[in-house]
Amino acid sequence: MSKSQSGLLIASGPKIYAWVPNETPILISEREDHVRKIHITDSMIYDAGDSNSIFNTLSGQEIATREQWVYALETFESNLFDGGRYEQVMQTENNEVINWRNGWVRSLKMFQNVLYDGGEYGVYETFTTKKLGSRRGTTYNFIEFKDVLLDSGEYGVYDTLSSQPIAHRDFSVLDMAVHNSELYDCGRYGILKTLTSEKVASRESPVMALHSHEGTLYDFDGFMMVYDTLSDSEGSNPLAEFDYPIHSVVSLNADLFSKILSII
């Protein structure tokens, strides 16, 4: 595996792997419990999860501890924020409580210089008490698509700011990805084009994560397998297998990928 190439960083249970498609995943680090979220900036990588801690992934330094699991990380105005089962959004490094929520915080997203959070309680502007409409269940993810903020979860997919439904699903939307200017979502139902509901791939277990990297869309299923989504519609040719469920996937540029490989 070359340090001069880009690659993926994958949270599989308590383990964090570096992976270049068609090569063997490399174990980078391991936490005491499952890693739920990996977050990157231009020069930093953070991870957090069921160990109730937030880490600088490159140094291994624990930068904050929480009373319960951490689900969400986001950078806003050069500061790191976190949320989780402790029903708060916090500024991570100074441990300042930004806002309390009536339920678990599952996702954070900066969009057009505003920070949003979503979870069991719906969707809010984080620094205010403004709630954005209502949802029929928990919000799991946010994604920006063609200058529009979308949220997804147990209810399907919504336009966040207008609170208008974009797509209905019979089961929870577990992840979303933008690939070649097309929006995709996944869950127990496989992988669909979000705006048309066209099914592009089926899997024998729920699809836990979707990620577009270097011109290819990848999906990660409940059997801990990864597939080339659009070239393997039936899931017959897994590209790699992991030991635990996949919770988070991010792309690293060549510089960050080189840095992550150097800590092995």
Q: Give 141-153 pLDDT, tens digit per residue.
A: 999 999 999 999 9
pLDDT in tens, 32-82: 999 999 999 999 999 999 999 999 999 999 999 999 999 999 999 999 999
Q: Considering the domain boundaries, does residue 170 fall inside one?
A: yes
Q: What is the mean pLDDT of the chain?
A: 97
Could you tell me if 133 and 123 are in contact, meaning their C-beta atoms sit under 8 angstroms apart?
A: yes
Quick check: helix, strand or coil at residue 134?
A: coil
Q: Considering the domain boundaries, does residue 62 fall inside one?
A: yes
Q: Considering the domain boundaries, does residue 55 fall inside one?
A: yes
Cα angle 87, 42, 57 (rounded to 5 degrees) comes to 60
Q: Considering the domain boundaries, does residue 151 fall inside one?
A: yes
Q: What is the pLDDT of residue 264?
A: 86
Could you tell me if 102 and 85 are in contact, meaning their C-beta atoms sit under 8 angstroms apart?
A: no
Distance of CA 237 to the CA centre of its chain: 24
Task: Please compute, for residue 106, the number of CA atoms within 13 A of its CA located in the half-sphere on the CB side.
Answer: 20
Q: Considering the domain boundaries, does residue 193 fall inside one?
A: yes
Q: What is the pLDDT of residue 50?
A: 99
Where helices occur in 103-253 by DSSP H, the ranges are none
Distance separating alpha carbons of residues 18 and 73, to the nearest angstrom: 20
Residue matched to tokens 């391991």: 30
Structure tokens at 107: 């996702």
Q: What is the pLDDT of residue 258?
A: 97
pLDDT in tens, 208-226: 999 999 999 999 999 999 9
Distance separating alpha carbons of residues 10 and 142, to the nearest angstrom: 19
Distance separating alpha carbons of residues 46 and 4, to the nearest angstrom: 21
Distance separating alpha carbons of residues 3 and 113, to the nearest angstrom: 34
Could you tell me if 189 and 170 are in contact, meaning their C-beta atoms sit under 8 angstroms apart?
A: yes
Mean pLDDT of 255-264: 96
* CA distance readout (Å), 176 to 44, 65, 92: 23, 29, 26
DSSP state for residue 121 in the 8-state scheme:
T
Q: Specify the CATH number for the domain of residue 219.
A: 2.130.10.10
| pTM of this structure | 0.97
pLDDT tier at 3 (50, 70, 90 boundaries)? Answer: low
Could you tell me if 207 and 187 are in contact, meaning their C-beta atoms sit under 8 angstroms apart?
A: yes
Q: What is the pLDDT of residue 1?
A: 65
pLDDT at 2 over 70: no
Quick check: helix, strand or coil at residue 29?
A: strand
**What domain count does the chain have?**
1
Q: Considering the domain boundaries, does residue 1 fall inside one?
A: no
Mean pLDDT of 223-239: 98
pLDDT at 171 over 80: yes
What pairs with residue 46 in β-bridges? Answer: 39, 56
Q: Which amino acid is at 32?
A: E
pLDDT at 190 over 90: yes
Q: Which amino acid is at 133?
A: G
Structure tokens at 48: 């957090």
* CA distance readout (Å), 67 to 13, 64, 96, 171, 206: 20, 10, 14, 30, 30
- For 33, the domain range is 7-262
Q: What is the pLDDT of residue 54?
A: 99
Structure tokens at 189: 């139902």
Q: Considering the domain boundaries, does residue 258 fall inside one?
A: yes
Q: Considering the domain boundaries, does residue 2 fall inside one?
A: no
CA dihedral 125, 133, 159, 8 (to 10 degrees): 50
